[in-house]
Structure 1
């Protein structure tokens, strides 16, 4: 026992000596790094300027660090014109954008005051973006009389004043104010997301609209399955029928819809047939002519047909069995073996589909395919190896070429930075070069009337330029020299933190005007409040 006591005592002594040694040693982390310079709070004058104009930054320590000092406007180095120990005069550099000014000395960075770079691509501050929608806007389309139909996941628009607000569908005037004549005061809109909308040509019923998404009722009317026909005043186009027990009930004017989510909807101009693509498996049609056996209760049965994310409906909502349909099996053909995220109805009546699929009706197609007017695969479309990862979005230029964006790194065996332009036949267009692209994801692409390309998504850089979720490119893929001075988009979550998922969902030019309407889930544009809609003007 004594041996153990001595051993423990020896260990205790060793620990005590070791602890004492550490206590007497120098702390390697006690060294204080003295900042090379200081920038005064609000130390910039003026607080806004155009590219090429001079501004003064005030602080301390500029003179002694003049050989190492760099002044950065959103990451872009500015030319220093003159300096003293307490001031430095610089010229706002080309490709600067609204945001914080910073200084760099060796590996030290000093973040300075907010500075607005004014330019020619600007938010229209008179447009009522401050109110806007109280939830995401997924789509906006021009309709009659210069008005616009907006759809999404909002439950009111423009503080409408309606009893039941405006649930996911609203019409706005040309000046951005809500059109109070649209939608009944009570029981308006849908119970879930609306993703797409189409304005129909004027008929004996006046102007009407189709809306599609993931809802299952409209204005409280049940069995309105993901697609609805609306009258011009925003009410559901409906019929009154009598149940087997003599009860009058209201039903959708469309015979059927789909069970699941519609991402894209197109109406063929020649015959009014309706193409739907998205995340759904079944066409469903309610049968109201039933009653429960042995009772006096009415019963509704949903007749369903498997269709696999792609379907064409007749104008009355019945299924078109001539489109990608197996008559022998009474079901849709296999279709895409993955999700269809985006589809475009082309001028010749063919349909371009993009997404995460690798086969169509059993044939290999890597995330992109063109379909004939009957839904069969178009063999004349030649994307080669296609995309190596999902294609999330695409847009067609007036010349027929297509911009593709997504998570892919390769297209047709060529390395590309999540964006590529293809010719009408699917081959890659070598005349488009976006350089290194983004450090994140591109969710949306829009084409301006002059051919410029607007990209938005979740990124902080594009070709090493600091950019906040949006960039404007020239038609060849290079960064536009004067359309990128804005501070980009952001969305503020419930906890006040910036959330940048799906910030922009649609960009449309205003006909005959030098302006764009941009919608999405953002709450700020260029660091100004813009609740899911903003109007941008340009020269």
Structure 2
């Protein structure tokens, strides 16, 4: 067989050669498409590091190069696409002065329109990855929420692994699905155990702690620790599913099938996933999402295999009692929004601010944003004016009593300068002190006010006020940017949650989760701790 294959190969090769030779007689050689192009200038970086590798604004840095002698005085030098001053230039050495406004990034030389790329220069600043944080690989999949608890943090999201610890085959199985508890140093904590967590698909969007010490999780999932749930579940303080044993119809001859262990929180949602859950008084739960119906299981008419559901129309925002039953006193005649819900946050007095792609809520005008009172009624005084194309995220800081909006909009509150990110007071009025700077064609997709009043902004932009800044900013109360908090770049990914904490040295720090792949020169697994020194 091999001989036949070899013969076939050689025959095909010979035929191809003949065909090529025959065709070649008719070939007419045209003009060289590269004729007239610029030849190589012989310029290049000869070392993959500058000296020093870390520098502060105003300091001098040497880069080792070759071939510059014929072009002295004609070179432009950039770091992270920011043009820098060339102090001296020799054939094999260029000394630059770090400008006062710049972020870390790769160097490049531009001569006669040709670009020559060089090594990365790290810019020293007061915001940097916590070097002693012990998380290495992080989460395999996005992080949606972070909840401080018992000296550690409950992390939820659409992940199936943490620190490569998951082992889902064999006798000693370990699960890291959708929810996990880490200690203050970023390592797995055994203080809570979630068993198998959610099923093999979906994720947990949100978590809240009830006054009783239990937890509510909401998202897009159908099981928790192998027990059937419906997008929402209640957990004990140790992380296990709050469950109970109920009588069911036995359709078999096995007496054990007369009983079933089920979630004690008897609630489910149809039509869309849960985006946010919030704890309110009397151990009740606010639930926000894109669902349009609520249901509960009638176990008197259910078996282990088949459930009888009792369905109630309930759209977008509902309140549930501690047992999962629908609180009918909340939002009478709930028609919901005439579009999709994007996000929500709870502010003072158990009011909920909801944003999305809607123009009305419960039949009342709402330009993509609405504030619901504690009884579910629309707050008419919370009336935001301006041109709103799309609101993407909303967050709230209780210490500052500020709501942060991010999205595509301009002219909020009658101020033409308010665009992309806006801070609102709890009455819905716009804080005109904060004005986002110029981000070109970029879009802000997340904003969070910190306890000290600074604002973290995330989005798809490459510059801020014409200085190279990639996707993440730490801004002052008025929207101005301090160099010392914005020296690192790039930031690759999107932020879903920020929690304030302390670094390993006791400095202020931020736990940041989302779909995040890189901060500065380091790869991160959707989660990292950022130290922010004053």
| Same fold, TM-score > 0.5, yes or no | yes
In structure 2, the residue corresponding to 1:311 is in which secondary structure?
A: strand
Contact 1:45 1:57 in 2 (8 A): yes
2:143 match: 137
Shift in Å, 1:256: 0.9
2:531 to 518, 524, 537: 537
2:37 match: 32
Return structure 1 stretches of 4+ with deviation > 6 angstroms.
none
Greater shift, 54-63 or 344-353, is seen at 54-63
2:275 match: 263
Shift in Å, 1:141: 1.0
Structure 1 residue 520 and structure 2 residue 531: aligned?
no
Cα-Cα RMSD: 2.5
Structure-2 separation of matches of 1:41 and 1:130: 32
1:75 match: 81
In structure 1, the residue corresponding to 2:380 is in which secondary structure?
A: coil
In structure 1, the residue corresponding to 2:185 is in which secondary structure?
A: coil
* 1:106–1:433 distance in 2 versus 1, CA, 3 Å: farther
In structure 2, the residue corresponding to 1:116 is in which secondary structure?
A: strand
Shift in Å, 1:63: 5.3
Structure-1 separation of matches of 2:163 and 2:516: 16
Contact 1:72 1:78 in 2 (8 A): yes
Matches within 5 A, 1:116-127: 116-127=122-133
1:432 to 411, 431, 434: 434
Structure-1 separation of matches of 2:302 and 2:67: 87
Please, which runs of 5 or more residues in structure 1 have no aligned partner?
1-18, 327-332, 491-499
Q: Deviations over 1:424-478 (max 9, x none)?
A: 3323332222122353332222233322211123332333332332111111112
TM-score by length of 2: 0.85
Shift in Å, 1:139: 1.0
Contact 2:290 2:340 in 1 (8 A): yes
* 1:81–1:378 distance in 2 versus 1, CA, 3 Å: same
2:283 to 272, 277, 283: 272
Q: Deviations over 1:173-215 (max 9, x none)?
A: 1111101342255x333442100011223x4xxx321111011
Structure-2 separation of matches of 1:163 and 1:438: 49
Structure-2 separation of matches of 1:433 and 1:37: 46
Contact 1:288 1:299 in 2 (8 A): no
Structure-1 separation of matches of 2:474 and 2:158: 27
Greater shift, 228-237 or 161-170, is seen at 161-170
Structure 1 residue 196 and structure 2 residue 206: aligned?
yes
Structure 1 residue 307 and structure 2 residue 307: aligned?
no
Structure-1 separation of matches of 2:517 and 2:165: 19
1:177 match: 187
Structure-1 separation of matches of 2:302 and 2:328: 29
Structure 1 residue 42 and structure 2 residue 47: aligned?
yes
2:450 match: 448
1:504 match: 495
* 1:27–1:215 distance in 2 versus 1, CA, 3 Å: closer
Q: Deviations over 1:113-132 (max 9, x none)?
A: 12222322110132133222
Structure-1 separation of matches of 2:437 and 2:413: 17
Structure-1 separation of matches of 2:148 and 2:305: 42
Contact 1:290 1:298 in 2 (8 A): no
Matches within 5 A, 1:202-213: 203=212, 207-213=213-219
Structure 1 residue 460 and structure 2 residue 466: aligned?
no
In structure 1, the residue corresponding to 2:459 is in which secondary structure?
A: strand
1:400 match: 401
* 1:220–1:447 distance in 2 versus 1, CA, 3 Å: same
Structure-1 separation of matches of 2:374 and 2:124: 48
Q: Deviations over 1:249-269 (max 9, x none)?
A: 11111121312211111111x
Please, which runs of 5 or more residues in structure 2 have no aligned partner?
1-26, 167-171
In structure 2, the residue corresponding to 1:154 is in which secondary structure?
A: strand
2:330 to 311, 323, 329: 323
Contact 2:346 2:396 in 1 (8 A): no
Structure 1 residue 248 and structure 2 residue 239: aligned?
no
Shift in Å, 1:421: 2.4
1:98 match: 104
Shift in Å, 1:60: 3.6
Contact 1:95 1:484 in 2 (8 A): no
Contact 1:288 1:300 in 2 (8 A): yes
Structure-1 separation of matches of 2:512 and 2:241: 27
Structure-2 separation of matches of 1:384 and 1:436: 22
* 1:28–1:430 distance in 2 versus 1, CA, 3 Å: same
Shift in Å, 1:420: 2.1
In structure 2, the residue corresponding to 1:521 is in which secondary structure?
A: strand
2:346 match: 345
Q: Deviations over 1:72-112 (max 9, x none)?
A: 11122222222223222112222322221112345433221
Contact 1:417 1:436 in 2 (8 A): no
Structure-1 separation of matches of 2:430 and 2:424: 4
In structure 1, the residue corresponding to 2:309 is in which secondary structure?
A: strand
Structure-1 separation of matches of 2:389 and 2:383: 17
Structure-2 separation of matches of 1:514 and 1:339: 37
Matches within 5 A, 1:359-378: 359-378=360-379
Greater shift, 353-362 or 161-170, is seen at 161-170
Aligned residues: 488
Contact 2:68 2:90 in 1 (8 A): yes
Greater shift, 414-423 or 249-258, is seen at 414-423
Structure 1 residue 289 and structure 2 residue 290: aligned?
no
Structure-2 separation of matches of 1:520 and 1:399: 24
Greater shift, 154-163 or 450-459, is seen at 154-163
